[in-house]
Structure 1
């Protein structure tokens, strides 16, 4: 017997409330499981392809796990120390950058610095960075290490990802067996749409971030920019947020190029041209090829989801923001389609009487309604 709609809404509302409370109270505890599940979801298509080649699920998972660990070790040993060193150098150089900016403004726009607010702000900012530059770098690094604990990454996340990837198909089949039978086809349709959005956006956008980050880092280092690796990594990582990566990365790169290459306009133009070329490639080739334009996640909706979930649940909220935004978007489009096809939207429009359609006749004296069949001129 089918459950009443009100009872089903109650069950799903309780489930959503439990999920929200779990994110709120157990964010740090469930963080490795969320990250492990995300990694398993990201790598599941690769495991399926290896299975089609004749390998078992266990062998496919082992190969993927070993390759992932190898890549992680290479990145940790080769890239992370260089990023940390460039971050420390940039923080130490910040007072000189502000002093150069103040000298430039004093030379080009002397009237601007007569405003004591602007002058005092630059002086205060430079003094604060100079006094607390090392502390700021250490705080950033320690916060990152606290947020993404070494033990979680080295031990817990790989283990969780391995077992979830190994049992992914069985877990999906198990969850499918729990679906209410009266609505199983509808839920499967919605789940396929959600998977299409996530696979098209998340997997594609992560690949876009890696491609653009590598492009910016290599190109900026080849152009001779001192902090090219750091700027490229920041720009690539922030590409996940629409427009933000290009704006912040471009502004940071051009600002550093102005400080380093002042007067060498050709070199400054090369740095600016790298970001122009990167945005051209992203908008016309990389993103359309890897992400596509049919995933249905509007940039404004994505920015709002990241901001809202990040504010409410911290780093864990930012991890689940995109999947939740995709789910809400797909479910909202489903209900909108149902509304547009329903009587509430279409209304009960009157039909034009046809040649044999019954029409109601009202006797003006008695008020009784009688049925009659309208005849056409041909019949008469």
Structure 2
């Protein structure tokens, strides 16, 4: 009886709230009014997102090192946790992990720079000659494609790549050596504090979240860090496998510049879908010039086989479902990230999109099988 009375009271209160208090309220209670209200909310949300992106682009010298430090911290933080579980003091575990990561990154980056820089001129020359031969082959091929159409398409690509929108990248603020050093130092400092005080920083930020949403935010943060860590570790493993397999094929075929090409394939592996493929095409162009069309076709076949191996075996096994995004979403994120932030934006776009999807999924109660079926307290029927 008490429950029935309570339901009646809640229903009457709900109906009284829906009843227009005046003629002005009635203007917004019909279908057009509700549509206008929702449209205004969407416009305000888009305006806030636009302002946020603009501010981040203006502060890219701070934002980019911060994001890179966060992603690296997510990747190596499990090492800190394991060392602490083994009884290591927290400062020692953090310092050892931090210094080890710096040594590995420094060695890899230095090796890549010297490998590419020592033969960069020859690499560009070989790729240019390969593109010229490819143009001649397409022009002679029995297809309705003229040399003028090829030149027009190439000019369009060059115009886009040299346009102001393509040059407006996240690296533009790091063009000078001083800014590069500043960004690297800031990234290292922020990375150390993320490893050392990541839990305390997150707990401090959660204090500003309403108590009723704090549990979901805690869960969203934990899953976001898991996604970031799994993505970086998995991508590095997949990129290394791509570089080793294709690099070995180049060495067996005695294609010159095999080491710089393998390095470029490894770097391209951090740009999903298109990065490793473009680097593989570059390797095929070099093989076309140096060893002829047969070697180029073999390299293309190896690149296709590696891409199939990556998509059907390596990524599901190594990365699992850490980045459960559709390929179309990944391509759109890559396009947006490249336009806004250049190469760095393209590399950071997918993990940022994955983290955003994790947060939306947790906050909305969505699961991979559909909306979560958590018990919801019934109040009144509206």
Q: TM-score, normalised by structure 1?
A: 0.67
2:9 equivalent in structure 1:
none
1:146 and 2:175 aligned: yes
Does the CA contact (< 8 Å) of 1:32 and 1:156 recur in 2?
yes
Alpha-carbon contact 1:57-1:166 (below 8 Å) kept: yes
CA contact (8 A) 2:270 2:347 kept: no
Distance 1:38 1:70 in 2: 17
The correspondence of residues 51-66 of structure 1 with structure 2, limited to 5 A, is 51-66=84-99
Matched, 1:329 2:362: no
Query: Partners of 1:122 and 1:182 in 2: how far apart?
Result: 56
TM superposition shift of 1:235: 2.8
Match of 2:319 in 1: 291
Counterpart among 231, 243, 257 of residue 201 in structure 1:
231
Alignment of 1:206-221 (within 5 A): 206-221=236-251
1:82 corresponds to which residue? 115
What's the RMSD between the two structures over aligned residues?
A: 4.2
SS in 1 for 2:118: helix
Name the counterpart of 1:275: 303
Q: Displacement, 1:23?
A: 0.8
Give the conservation status (yes or no) of the 8 Å contact 2:243–2:265. Answer: yes
Larger radius of gyration: 1
Aligned equivalent of 2:329, options 293, 301, 304: 301
Query: Residue 283 of structure 2 corresponds to which residue in structure 1?
Result: 253
Note the C-alpha offset of 1:56: 1.7
Structure 2 counterpart SS, 1:79: helix
Q: Find the counterpart in structure 2 of residue 20 from structure 1.
A: 53
**Secondary structure, aligned partner of 2:181:** helix
Q: CA offsets per residue over residues 183-223 of structure 1, 9 Å max, x none?
A: 22232333344334333334322332233234433442343
The residue matched to 1:225 in structure 2 has which SS? coil
Unaligned runs of 5+ in 1: 1-8, 129-141, 343-347, 350-380
1:156 equivalenced with 2:156 (yes/no): no
Give the number of the structure with larger relative contact order, counting CA–CA contacts within 8 Å between residues 6 or more apart. Answer: 2
- Aligned-partner SS, 2:119: helix
Alignment CA distance shift 1:161-1:24 (3 Å): same
How far apart are the structure 2 equivalents of 1:176 and 1:18? 24
Cα distance change, pair 252–286 in 1 and its aligned pair in 2 (3 A): same
Q: Provide closer, same or farther for how the CA distance between residues 74 and 206 of structure 1 changes in structure 2, counting only shifts above 3 A.
A: closer
For structure 2, the residue ranges without an aligned partner over 5 or more in a row are 1-40, 159-170, 375-379
Cα 1:100–1:64 change in 2 (3 A) is same
- 66, 79, 94: which is aligned to 1:46? 79
TM-score normalized with structure 2 length: 0.67
